[in-house]
Amino acid sequence: MERALTFFSSRKGQATTETVLLFPLFVIFILFIIKIFGLLILNQKLEIAGYYAARRFQLQSHETDYYANTWDRRFLIKDIQKKVENYLGFDNPGMKKFLSLNTLKMDVNVSGTWVKITITARTKPPRIPFLCKYNKDRVCDKDDKCLKGYAFLCETGGEVRIIKYVGHNERPAPYQRPEEK
């Protein structure tokens, strides 16, 4: 037993100073990577949800005013938004926390030929405590990009918006984007 203890005490080890100084930097780096990865996942999930919402509204909406103002507004749009929220993770506490989800807004704008579906997801700020305790004016020194980053991290969070255009179901129309770009 005594021999084992002398074996451990005689070994040379890593300098504790290096480990202690580099560990917080490593943790900050990992937190940033996780938050950026979460935003990328949210963007991809919104693209898929936007396609689903646009296609379902295209196939199930009505042209007549009576059904467009009653069934489409009362049931269809609310049901599509509920399914989109469920897909994005608003019902799952773990996914909601990972993606920092706050609110979801879905707008459906029906025009003559096109239906424009806009889905906007607002995220909570990550609020990393050791970064947000400093004064933003001292940290950023009037740099606009730095101020936007600080606002995202500590104050407001972000907003991811997806816009999808679909034509009406009955009318075959050649594909041309409404912006004519």
DSSP states along 10-68: HS----HHHHHHHHHHHHHHHHHHHHHHHHHHHHHHHHHHHHHHHHHHHHH--SSHHHI
pLDDT at 13 (0 to 100): 58
Beta bridge partners of 108: 117
| Position 178 in a domain | no
Of 52, 50, 41, nearest in space to 96 by CA:
41
- 2, part of any domain: no
Q: At residue 7, does pLDDT exceed 60?
A: no
Residue 24 maps to a domain = yes
Rounded Cα distance between 124 and 100, Å, is 5
Q: Span 158-165, mean pLDDT?
A: 92
Q: Is residue 72 part of a domain?
A: yes
Least confident segment among 68-72, 119-123, 171-175: 171-175
- Whether the CB-CB separation of 57 and 166 falls below 8 Å is answered with yes
Task: Answer yes or no: is 5 within a domain.
Answer: no
pLDDT band with cut points at 50, 70 and 90 for residue 98: confident
**In whole angstroms, what is the distance from residue 165 CA to residue 176 CA?**
10
- What's the structural domain count of the chain? 1
Of residues 45 and 180, the one with the higher pLDDT is 45
Position 59 in a domain: yes
User: What is the full DSSP assignment across 69-121?
Assistant: IIIIIIIIHHHHHHHHHHHHTTT-HHHHHHTTEEEEEEEEEE-SSEEEEEEEE
Give the per-residue pLDDT at 8: 54
102 or 177, which is more confident?
A: 102
Query: Is residue 53 in a domain?
Result: yes
Residue 104's domain spans which residues? Answer: 16-167
pLDDT bin (cut points 50, 70, 90) of residue 175 is low
- In whole numbers, what is the pLDDT of the chain averaged over residues? 82
Question: What number is the average pLDDT over the span 37-61?
Answer: 91
Q: How far apart are CA 49 and CA 52, in angstroms?
A: 5
The model's confidence at residue 176, banded by pLDDT at 50, 70 and 90, is low
Which range, 34-38, 68-72, 81-85, is most confident? 81-85
Give the residues across from 118 on adjacent strands.
107, 163
Biggest CA-to-CA distance, the chain: 91
Q: C-alpha distances in angstroms, 3 versus 7, 13, 80, 123, 175?
A: 6, 19, 71, 58, 81
Predicted TM-score (pTM) of the model is: 0.73
